[in-house]
A = this chain, B = another copy of it.
Amino acid sequence: MNTKRSRMSAEDRRTAILDVATDLLSTHPWEEVTVALLLDAAGISKGGFYHHFTSKDDVLAAVLLRLTEASNSAGQAVYERSEGGAAARFTAYLGGTTRWELEHADKIMGVIRIAMMAGNEAIFLKLEQEARRRATPLMRTLVEEGVREGIFDVIDVDMTVDLLQHAWRMRWVVFAQARQRCATGDLAGGEAMLGERLRLEERMTNRLLGCDAATPVLMPAVGEFLGFLQAP
């Protein structure tokens, strides 16, 4: 262990701590995760830890921002591969980021669980704002391209991007409730709940974009969520 530790660069150590914290997030209530547990699981010394972080909450902030960066990269990659008109590219972006989120659903739900805990609201609102800020440039590009193509008719690009992000922000809370309902045996009810949320967001997204009704932006279909809904 010592050999391994001595070979790790500062950056590797930081990554190791974040990897371990991200895993623990999916399996442990955050209040049970201690700095000692993180050190042990990551094979890092106390000094190595405090070189990068001031507390376990500081680690949590870094985990969240790393998840955000990864989600943004996935969105960017999908956008770059996307074809067709602005509405089709926006649809591809929504599908790509949603698929990425579904692949990381356990981590996202771990984060939501922590965010919902009493006393955590203030710091989470701030982190959420930071996460949104990072997603903004690509969203602005997507909206501006649609405006240029005459497909979108927005009131104001910046306010539209801000409101779109706000409209989508509670989705994972609803997705988690839908999965919970499926877990109690009501699969149809859970699917309906999730589908309703997707349709609501889709309609609001098209309204905010002033999207041409002939070529609407589409949210992913409920079918894409079946694996998530039926997970044990």
Residues of A within 8 A of B (CB): 121-123, 125-126, 129, 155-156, 159, 162-163, 166-167, 200, 203-204, 207-208, 210
A181 to B39, CA, bound (A): 53
Set of chain B residues within 8 Å of A162, measured between Cβ atoms: 166
Nearest CB of B to A87, in Å: 18
A-B contact pairs, 18 of them (CB 8 A): A121-B126, A121-B129, A122-B125, A122-B126, A125-B125, A125-B126, A125-B129, A155-B203, A155-B204, A156-B200, A159-B167, A159-B204, A162-B166, A163-B163, A163-B166, A163-B167, A207-B207, A207-B208
Set of chain B residues within 8 Å of A166, measured between Cβ atoms: 162-163, 166
A200 to B158, CA, bound (A): 11
Copy tally for this chain in the complex stands at: 2
Q: Which of B129, B159, B204, B210 contacts A156 (CB 8 A)?
A: B204
A210 to B129, CA, bound (A): 28
B125–A200 touching, CB < 8 Å: no
Most buried by B among A125, A155, A159, A203: A155
Return the 7 tightest CB-CB contacts between A and B, nearest first.
Answer: A125-B125, A122-B122, A122-B126, A155-B203, A166-B166, A155-B204, A122-B123
Set of chain B residues within 8 Å of A155, measured between Cβ atoms: 200, 203-204, 207
Set of chain B residues within 8 Å of A156, measured between Cβ atoms: 200, 203-204
Set of chain B residues within 8 Å of A121, measured between Cβ atoms: 126, 129
A129 to B121, CA, bound (A): 10
Most buried by B among A129, A163, A200, A210: A163
